[in-house]
């Protein structure tokens, strides 16, 4: 929060890009209470109107991400990489709602070894958070998913929604799943 206040001062050259690394180890040793609040991001954006933010999150719990992701962050790129925890569908949904104007890159990687299969972000809902992300984030040009279940029909929906604007759609073969009705049609 203090860094955001200093950078928001009009005496500083406006920022164009800010990369933030959030790691579970650093969260264990420091409180999230010092993270910038929405007012801090708004003040920073007043001085740096072209600012875009890139966040890399390593093994960060979904609850902690919900505390970090403030509405006024001009989030352009986000990269989740997990070895212990999994990102929740609620976090993906929040990102698609809050950052629909700026988000261009979304990378979701899960290296959790779980014999019961890959986590499914849709939580057995009718709406898949990744499809909603592709629908809401009209500037999305890169979507990479590794180690999470992506249903084949949702993968097709994502490709259709973004069309040729989606330059990279990268999904691990093992992540693609078919429901039984689709398999019978194949």
Residue 186 above 60 pLDDT? no
Residue with tokens 């029909």: 153
Radius of gyration, alpha carbons of the chain: 18
* Alpha-carbon span 75 to 153, nearest angstrom: 28
Residue 69 above 60 pLDDT? yes
Residue 159 above 80 pLDDT? yes
pLDDT at 81: 92
pLDDT classification of 29: cutoffs 50, 70, 90: low
pLDDT at 79: 97
Taking residues 161-169, report their average pLDDT.
96
Residue 124 above 80 pLDDT? no
Taking residues 16-38, report their average pLDDT.
83
pLDDT classification of 125: cutoffs 50, 70, 90: low
Q: Are the beta carbons of 150 and 130 closer than 8 angstroms?
A: yes
Domains with residue ranges and CATH for the chain:
14-177 (3.80.10.10)
CA atoms within 13 Å, Cβ hemisphere of 2: 3
pLDDT at 166: 96
Q: Considering the entire predicted model, what is its pTM?
A: 0.89
Residues 40-68: tens digit of each pLDDT:
999 999 989 999 999 999 999 889 899 89
Q: What is the average pLDDT value for the chain, to the nearest integer? A: 88
pLDDT at 185: 55
Closest CA to 39 of 82, 8, 61: 8
pLDDT at 78: 97
pLDDT at 184: 52
Residues 75-116: tens digit of each pLDDT:
999 999 988 788 889 999 999 999 999 999 999 999 866 656
């Amino acid at each position: 929060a203090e860094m955001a206040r200093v950078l928001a001062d009009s005496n500083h050259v406006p920022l164009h890009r800010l990369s933030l690394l959030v790691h579970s180890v650093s969260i264990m040793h420091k409180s999230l209470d010092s993270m910038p609040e929405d007012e801090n991001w708004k003040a920073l954006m007043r001085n740096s109107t072209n600012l875009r933010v890139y966040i890399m999150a390593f093994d960060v719990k979904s609850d902690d991400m919900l505390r970090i992701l403030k509405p006024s962050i001009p989030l352009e790129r986000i990269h989740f990489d997990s070895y212990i925890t999994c990102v929740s569908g609620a976090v993906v949904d929040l990102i698609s709602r809050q950052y629909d104007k700026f988000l261009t890159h979304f990378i979701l990687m899960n290296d959790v070894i779980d014999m019961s299969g890959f986590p499914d972000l849709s939580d057995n809902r009718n709406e898949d958070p990744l499809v909603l992300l592709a629908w809401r984030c009209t500037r999305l040009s890169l979507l990479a998913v590794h180690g999470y279940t992506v249903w084949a029909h949702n993968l097709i929906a994502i490709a259709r929604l973004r069309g040729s604007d989606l330059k990279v759609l990268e999904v691990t073969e093992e992540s693609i799943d078919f429901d039984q009705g689709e398999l019978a049609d194949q």
